Structure 1
Amino acid sequence: MTDPAGRARQALGEQLREIRKDAGLTARALAELHGWPRSKMSKIELGQQSPTEDDIRAWCRSCGAENQAPDLIASLRNVQAAYLEMKRMRLPVRQRQSINWEADTRLMRWYEPWVVPGLLQTPDYAEALLTKVLEFYHESTDDLEAMLAARLERQHVLYRGNHRFHFLIAEQVLHSTVGDNGTMIGQLDRLLVAMSLPRVVLGVIPAHTEYVVPQSNFCMFDRRRVLVETITAELTIAQPREIALYEKTFAVLAEQAIYGAAARSIIAAALDSRHNDTDTSGSDGTP
């Protein structure tokens, strides 16, 4: 079983099998309790078939493990919807799904080690970034305009409703060139402006910061879900105990970040460096 959804379904089946065994029940006995075919039990435990949420509740109730049902149901939802192909993630429909999630979120926490978070990107930066992504996957740029419009539409949430945003970026984000020097100058200036928004907190994690916690980019929507982008897929995490680990990770990174005047200073220094590079090169960026 090589696909992520299949592996997740298999892991869920193994958890359910262990719960049954811990309760001292055979597969036949549990099946008879609920009038399930024996084949259904086998397929669920081997990861060949997904249970329903009601199946999980009944399973846990019969095994005296009702307290495990919420995590298992969250795992089931991951199996059903969490592992999505990266191509689908980049389509405008996916961007619009983000609009709905963000509109329903009171507190968004977002960490990025390499690029500016989407909600803070300028149009030029977003276009350059999306173009590179499409090129990497050898995909057509026919949808680029729609993708860009949907991404920029998401930014309206920064100014509407009762939302709060806590962004963390690694210092490397300020120095990773997306587009060209002019693009980066506009983007760094945008970060300085974003810091003045009343519901936005922006922290920068200095490059010399000690490594103390596992890291990858992620975005938290309250305590309901976490999005993590990998090279091949976007992972939606809904299991409470996993969300708790991301929350812990964000808290550690937030402690390492600098804010306010100190953050402005480090961004301004990167901006000055970009201006100096422009002054000492031609308009096309060549010496």
Structure 2
Amino acid sequence: MTTFEERRTAFGNKLREIREAAGLSGTELATVLGWQQSKVSKIERGKQTASDSDVVAWLGAVDAPEPLAEHMRAALRDLQVAQLTWRRQVRDGHRERQEQGVRDAQSAGTIRAVDIMAVPGLLQTPDYARAIFETQADLLGVPNNDIEDAVAARTARQQVLYDRSKHIEILLAEAALLHPVCPVDVLAGQIDRLVSVLGLRHVRVGVLPAYRPIPHLLPHGFTMLDAEVRFESVSGEHRITDPDEVALYRKLTDALWTAAAEGDEARAQFLRVLEALPT
């Protein structure tokens, strides 16, 4: 269990204690709030992150005193961030984080990746991945002595692309190829890799062409592993498991695919970028 999961479980336990102190059963509280009883159970057992409105409604239903309510709201703010700082995660290098990524990808049945400023990890060449790790280590001021191990782990994760039992979709914006953090020759090799992956018929790969209107704003890239969404900010990784929020990301992903180039159109798009690279 991760630190975040432990904190969410502790938060759920506290909500359960507050409910029990008010003399309500889980079923009774669900009835008062107009929820399914399973929602109360999931929140109390730390299987679902409560939203702001969930906690406000919960505390109101049990008539919690204001000092306790404020304490719980503050605890929720910390919990909802669900932020695992990269500096802490990679303070001893990148390898451990990438090896965890291998395990997560292997255990997931559905993987849906969307990115706007980088080629998603499942499609990165070793040289492209190496450039990403080097720039990240420089920005965060963390060790870079295990970058080759991290590259090897990221490459190993790509074995899931050949597992036909998995549902895999990878969508990237053309902008990810127009503003690279790697040399031109490395980018050329990366584009060749994208073209070759289009031949994997059981893996859906698409590109959002530059200047093509998209149905909704895409503020950041993200990856959906089954019922969990992960995305990276400059300093941390965020994880979302709330069903309503995950459903919103699923809806966004579905909408973005309506604007994507796939198959021969995607191949032509990648080759146009490749041909336009400076020599």
Class of the TM-score when normalised by the shorter of the 2 chains: 0.7 to 0.9
**Residue of structure 2 aligned with 1:134, choices 134, 137, 141:** 137
1:159 deviation in Å?
1.9
Segments of 5+ residues of structure 1 without an aligned counterpart are: 21-26, 35-57, 279-287
Shift of 1:94: 2.0
Q: Does 1:75 align with 2:46?
A: no
Write out per-residue CA displacement over residues 1-26 of structure 1, whole angstroms, 9 at most, x where no aligned residue.
xxxx7xx97xx78xx69xx9xxxxxx
One-letter code aligned to 2:221: N
Name the residue aligned to 2:124. Answer: 121
Deviations 1:87-131 (A, max 9, x none): 344532222222122112222110000110001001110101110
Question: What SS does the corresponding residue of 2:261 show, helix, strand or coil?
Answer: coil
Q: Does 1:185 align with 2:188?
A: yes
Give the equivalent residue in structure 1 for 2:21.
Answer: 31
Distance 1:235 1:83 in 2: 5
- Post-superposition, which runs of at least 4 consecutive aligned residues in structure 1 deviate over 4 A? none
Equivalent position of 2:222 in the other structure: 218
2:114/2:253 contact within 8 Å kept: yes
Residues 211 and 259 from structure 1, CA distance in 2 versus in 1: closer, same or farther, beyond 3 angstroms? closer
For residues 106-185 of structure 1, the aligned pairs below 5 Å read 106-160=109-163, 162-185=165-188
Structure 1 contact 227–236 (Cα < 8 Å) conserved: yes
**CA RMSD of the aligned region, Å?**
3.0
| Distance change >3 Å, CA 230–CA 264, structure 1 → 2 | same
Identity of aligned residues (%): 31
* Equivalent residue number for residue 63 of structure 1: 29
Counterpart selection for 2:100 from 97, 101, 114: 97
Q: What is the 5 A alignment of 1:231-242?
A: 231-242=234-245
Native 8 Å contact 2:215 2:259 kept in 1: no
C-alpha offsets along residues 152-175 of structure 1, whole Å, 9 cap, x if unaligned?
Answer: 111111123522321111111121
* Alpha-carbon contact 1:71-1:240 (below 8 Å) kept: no
* Greater Cα shift, 157-166 or 147-156: 157-166
**Aligned residue number for residue 72 of structure 2:** none
* Whole-Å separation in 1 of the counterparts to 2:139 and 2:21: 49
* Structure 1 equivalent of residue 71 of structure 2: none
Q: Which moved more, 1:99-108 or 1:131-140?
A: 99-108
Q: Is the 8 A contact 1:89 1:95 kept in 2?
A: no
Name 1:86's counterpart in structure 2: 86
| Change over 3 Å in CA distance of 1:186–1:74 after alignment to 2 | same
* Worse-superposed segment, 63-72 or 200-209: 63-72
Q: Which has the larger radius of gyration?
A: 1
Q: Contact 1:218 / 1:228 at 8 angstroms: preserved in 2?
A: yes
Q: 1:227 aligns with which of 202, 225, 230?
A: 230
Q: Secondary structure at the residue paired with 1:263?
A: helix
Q: 1:92 to 1:69 in 2, by over 3 A?
A: farther
Whichever residue aligns with residue 74 of structure 1, its letter is: Q
Residue 108 of structure 2 aligns to a residue whose secondary structure is coil
Letter of the structure 2 residue corresponding to residue 244 of structure 1 = A
- 1:62: Cα distance to partner? 4.1
1:221 partner amino acid: L
Structure 2 residue 250 is the aligned partner of structure 1 residue 247: yes
Task: Check conservation: 1:88, 1:94, Cα contact below 8 A.
Answer: no
SS at the partner of 2:101?
helix
TM-score, with length taken from structure 1: 0.72
Amino acid aligned to 2:96: V
Structure 1 residues 14-65: Cα deviation after superposition (integer angstroms, max 9, x where no partner): xx69xx9xxxxxx6x841638xxxxxxxxxxxxxxxxxxxxxxx6x434134
Deviations, residues 226-253 of structure 1 (Å, cap 9, x unaligned): 1111112111111111110000000010
Q: For the Cα contact (< 8 Å) 2:129–2:151, is it kept in 1? A: yes
Superposed CA deviations along residues 265-287 of structure 1, whole A, max 9, x for unmatched, are: 1100111112xx22xxxxxxxxx
